[in-house]
Each structure stands twice: as C-alpha cells, then as structure tokens.
C-alpha cells in the first residue's frame, strides 16, 4: 500500500527502510545515511560498499501518479542519452522486491536512486557562463519539443494562481486584518497576469525542467549540470530561463540577452515570451505561500519555515505582492 500525504507523510521512513530500499534495488550499502536539504520529497545520500555513494529520493506520497513519475524518469534519461548534463535516475540492478509498476516502490514509498554529483550553485557572473547555460537549456528544449508529456502538469495561470488564492482564503489562513488587501491585490495581479498571457498569444508548450532556478543547477570545471526534474511539465521556454536571473532590472535584461544568445544556437526563442517574466514571478509568489500552507501538516515545514503564517509574514507577503503589481502595471 502506498503512503498518503495525510497526517505525517514520511513518518515511517526510517534509516533502516532507506537502506533496505537501496539494497533491494541492488546497491549494497555500508549504512552511512546523510539527509540532504529537501522538503517536498525526502532525499538522502547513502554510502555503498566499494562504490561511490548514491542519492535516493523518496517521493511525497500522493503528489504524483506512477505514470507522471515514469515520465519524469524517461525525460531525464532521454536528455542524458542526448549527452545533456542532466542527472538521471539509475536503473535498479534488482527489481523483484520493488513492485511490478513503472516506478520502484519499497514499503509505502515510491523512490528513485541517482548517482551523486558534486558542484556549486552557479553565480552566472560572466557572459560566457550565461551563454554556456543558455546553450544547454536550448538543447534541453530541443529534446523537450520532440513530443509532449501525457501525465504531467501544464503551466496555466488559473491553476497556479487562482487555485492557490482560493485555497488560502477557503482555509482562512490569511490574517483577518489583512485579508481584504490580500484579496484585492491578488485579484488585480491575476487579471493582469491573464491579460499578459492572452496578449502574447498562443504559446508554444514543450517539455521543460519547470523549476530551473540556480539551486537546481550545479557547476563544476566541466560546466553546468541540471538536477531535480521533479517539477518537469509542459510550459513555455521562458519558464526555464527567468528564474536564473538576478539583480536589478537592467542587470536581468543583460543576463537574459546572454542566456538567449547561447540558447538560440540550438533552439528558437520567441521574443514575446520575455514579457511573461514578471507575470510568472507574480504567479510564483502567490503559489509559494499556498505551497507552504498545503504542506504545513508535514513536521519538516514548521521546522524549516517557522515564520510562515505569523501576522508579520502576511504583512510582508501582501506588501511584496503590491510591489509586484506596480511592476506589472509599469511594464
């Protein structure tokens, strides 16, 4: 029986179960287990006998179907086969104890095992570095455009924005004294976001990384490699570019130009999509608060985000949304 995302979803995920799952997949462990920073899923480095450690990810129960996870794994392996530096899951060396579905299951948990890869989060401080990462993103999207996902999410303002707002209001999670301001600013923001998407016209949706911020890119002397395709989806190309940008508006424009220069060596970029950066930023801001709220029953979240839900949090969040509204109105 697969665990559910109710109560404490990872309560039964013990060190013994972690090691047993890795060994059931055919990787003899030396019992060294190190928890890595992850909240949506649980991710551990596990030492192996006479081999480099591996990284094992246990999926949050109830979030994805077997078919959706299988598409994530297939996309990663497809990219790796095209010699794109993406960390793809290893094939189990034994499968008798892992269920008969498309995704390995041990105990109550779906999981995947990955090779360990080192590196640092990129600074992207030079045009060469930005063009370099742009070239790899172009190659990812060239592969991603060859066919679509059938079982994974599709980026849409109504899903990302309006459902997030509705959840927070229905659960009465926004501080009472600021709820009216929250409703007003999110309503105006989402109207502008949807209008901007409509103004751009029909978007070209393709398979994308979906959560391509700098924490999901590791940099070595050999260049960048991409990790964590847990949020891969159908979406426009710009979704994988804008979260790599940092700094003031002028700096971000310069960074984006460099990334697109590298990107365009392998894939076509539609310039009109650049106008979706601020709408996408607004959607992420709205969605992030709802994500924290939906996960609050998981003990890892109150420990990691103790400030969430306090009056000062809502004051700051609403103020940031109001600032983002001004940015959208002026852009």
Catalytic residues: 211, 228
Q: With left for phi above 0 and alpha for psi between -120 and 50, is residue 90 left, alpha or beta?
A: beta
The CA-atom distances, in angstroms, between 79 and each of 113, 148, 164, 224 are 17, 14, 32, 14
C-alpha 39 chain-centroid distance: 12
Cα atoms in the Cβ-side hemisphere of radius 13 Å centred on 272: 9
Q: Torsions phi, psi of 32, nearest 5?
A: -85, 120
The Cα 174–Cα 163 span in angstroms is 15
The Cα 281–Cα 55 span in angstroms is 31
Q: Say if CB 154 and CB 234 are below 8 A apart.
A: yes
CA angle, residues 66, 214, 294, in degrees to nearest 5: 50
Give DSSP secondary structure letters for 248-289.
Answer: SHHHHHHHHHHHHHHHTTTS---GGGGGGHHHHHHHHHHHHH
Q: Say if CB 38 and CB 13 are below 8 A apart.
A: no
The dihedral built from the CA positions of residue 310, 312, 316 and 318, taken in this order, carries a sign that is: positive
Q: Which residues 6+ apart lie within 8 Å of 326 measured at CB?
A: none
């Amino acid at each position: 029986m697969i665990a559910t995302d109710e109560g404490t979803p990872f309560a039964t995920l013990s060190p013994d179960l972690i090691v047993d799952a890795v060994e059931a997949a055919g990787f003899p462990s030396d019992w060294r287990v190190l928890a890595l920073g992850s909240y949506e899923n649980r991710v551990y480095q596990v030492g192996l006998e006479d081999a480099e450690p591996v990284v094992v990810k246990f999926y949050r129960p109830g979030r994805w179907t077997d078919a959706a996870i299988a598409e994530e794994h297939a996309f990663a392996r497809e990219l790796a086969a095209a010699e794109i530096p993406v960390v793809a899951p290893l094939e189990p060396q034994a499968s008798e104890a892992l269920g008969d579905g498309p995704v390995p299951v041990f105990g109550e948990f779906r999981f995947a095992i990955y090779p360990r890869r080192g590196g640092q989060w990129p600074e992207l401080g030079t045009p060469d570095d930005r063009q370099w990462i742009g070239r790899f993103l172009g190659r990812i999207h060239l592969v991603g455009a060859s066919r679509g996902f059938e079982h994974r999410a599709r980026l849409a303002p109504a899903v990302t924005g309006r459902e997030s707002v509705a959840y927070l209001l229905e659960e009465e999670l926004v501080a009472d004294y600021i709820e009216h301001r929250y409703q007003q600013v999110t309503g105006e923001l989402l109207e502008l976001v949807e209008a901007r998407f409509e103004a751009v016209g029909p978007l070209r949706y393709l398979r994308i990384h979906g959560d391509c911020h700098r924490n999901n890119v590791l940099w070595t002397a050999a260049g960048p490699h991409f990790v964590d395709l847990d949020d891969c989806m159908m979406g426009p190309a710009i979704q994988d570019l804008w979260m790599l940008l940092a700094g003031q508006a002028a700096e971000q424009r310069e960074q984006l130009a460099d990334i697109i220069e590298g990107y365009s060596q392998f894939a076509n970029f539609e310039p009109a999509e650049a106008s979706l950066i601020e709408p996408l930023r607004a959607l992420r801001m709205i969605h992030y608060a709802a994500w924290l709220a939906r996960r609050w029953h998981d003990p890892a979240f109150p420990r990691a985000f103790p400030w969430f839900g306090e009056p000062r949090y809502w004051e700051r969040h609403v103020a940031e949304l109001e600032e983002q509204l001004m940015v959208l109105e002026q852009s």
